[in-house]
Amino acid sequence: MIVVILAQRYKLIKHIEIMAINKLLCNLSFIFLISFHFHFGLGEIRLNYYSESCPNAEEIVKEEVIRLYHKHGNTAVSWIRTLFHDCMVKSCDASILLESINGIQSEKISTRNMGMRNFKYINTIKDALERSCPMTVSCADVVALSARDGVVLLGGPHIEMKTGRKDSKESHLAEIDGFLPNHNDSIMFVLSRFQSVGIDVEGTVALLGAHSVGRVHCANIVDRLYPTVDPTLDANYAEYLKGRCPHPQPDPKAVEYARNDLKTPMTLDNNYYKNIMNNKGLLLVDQQLVSSPVTSSFVENMAADNDYFHEQFSKALLTLSENNPLSEADGEVRRDCRFVNSD
């Protein structure tokens, strides 16, 4: 009996010790995460960040986005793409908007950013904000909020987006290739790039659904058409693409494009997934979403349920928009989105 009691006490003591160790490890992990957070100087972003400093900031952005959309419909697509190309590279910090001047080399000259446009309208929105609240709203927040409102104009969901980002004082041109996936990369590499900013497989598949709107330059398509047609392309669709892209070596500066989605080219919907399941995806990465067992089930689910696609797209875009915000010390609020402040 004494042996049994001692054994039970021993087990109880070990159980308590294990629980204490686990608690200690959890606390240490929490402390490590806090240290990690402050070591990299992550900035504070929150909902309604400008509620006191510029109460109408988000409404001003929305009004300008709507006005520009009715004047230049393609701006809504540009806002989403700009957010992606900015936030995937180190931080959501509007570094992509910087021009080449005073030792800065613009990210716009990267081949990964070929075809990017409508940057000048970001300045239009920023100018409207400056008239109401000078030196208050960052260009990085203009990028994020315009993308949010652009999604709605394209028939997508409204996303509650945090604000308070700061603008970068430097370009990240040299690091773009290491952060921004290419359309010809393997699907596993693309997934790893998105995972590095906290977006899982499901979210990656959803974000690539942004390909349901806008267009792609022929320079990014011709490898699937010449010298021979990619056998995974639908034959009729391949003929259409050849009509849009008749040369195996198109001029990157020429206006030679093909639409991602012929049925609803300006609607953010799940037609993209239906198309790629029928071998009508423009880019190699689109086709790989269907052929890879890691992603194919998500493609099928999103093709079957537009609401599910919108839900996952919202979550993933929100995660992307919050990537590594700069601290007050590391960033600034630019007067002009094209240039670092001079004073």
Residue 282 has a pLDDT of 92
Which of 12-26, 91-105, 214-228 shows the lowest mean pLDDT across its residues?
A: 12-26
**For the segment 278-307, what is each residue's pLDDT rounded down to a tens digit?**
999 999 999 999 999 999 999 999 999 999
Residue 73 has a pLDDT of 85
Confidence of residue 37 (pLDDT cuts 50, 70, 90): very low
H helices then E strands: how many in the chain?
A: 13, 2
CB atoms within 10 A of CB 195: 13
Q: C-alpha angle with apex 99: 141 to 164, nearest 5 degrees?
A: 15
- For the question of residue 72 being annotated catalytic, the response is no
**For the segment 197-233, what is each residue's pLDDT rounded down to a tens digit?**
999 999 999 999 999 998 999 999 999 999 999 999 9
Cβ–Cβ < 8 Å for 225, 241: yes
Indicate the pTM of the whole model: 0.86
Catalytic residue among 37, 72, 85, 310: 85
The residues near 245 (Cβ < 8 Å, ≥ 6 apart) are 218, 221, 222, 225, 256, 258
**Mean per-residue pLDDT, 147-158:** 97
**Mean per-residue pLDDT, 162-176:** 97
Q: What is the dihedral of CA 273, 278, 284, 290, to 10 degrees?
A: 60
The residues near 119 (Cβ < 8 Å, ≥ 6 apart) are 82, 97, 108
Residue 42 has a pLDDT of 62
- Closest Cα to residue 110, out of 182, 199, 5? 182
Is pLDDT of 342 > 80? yes
Strands 215-217 and 257-259: antiparallel
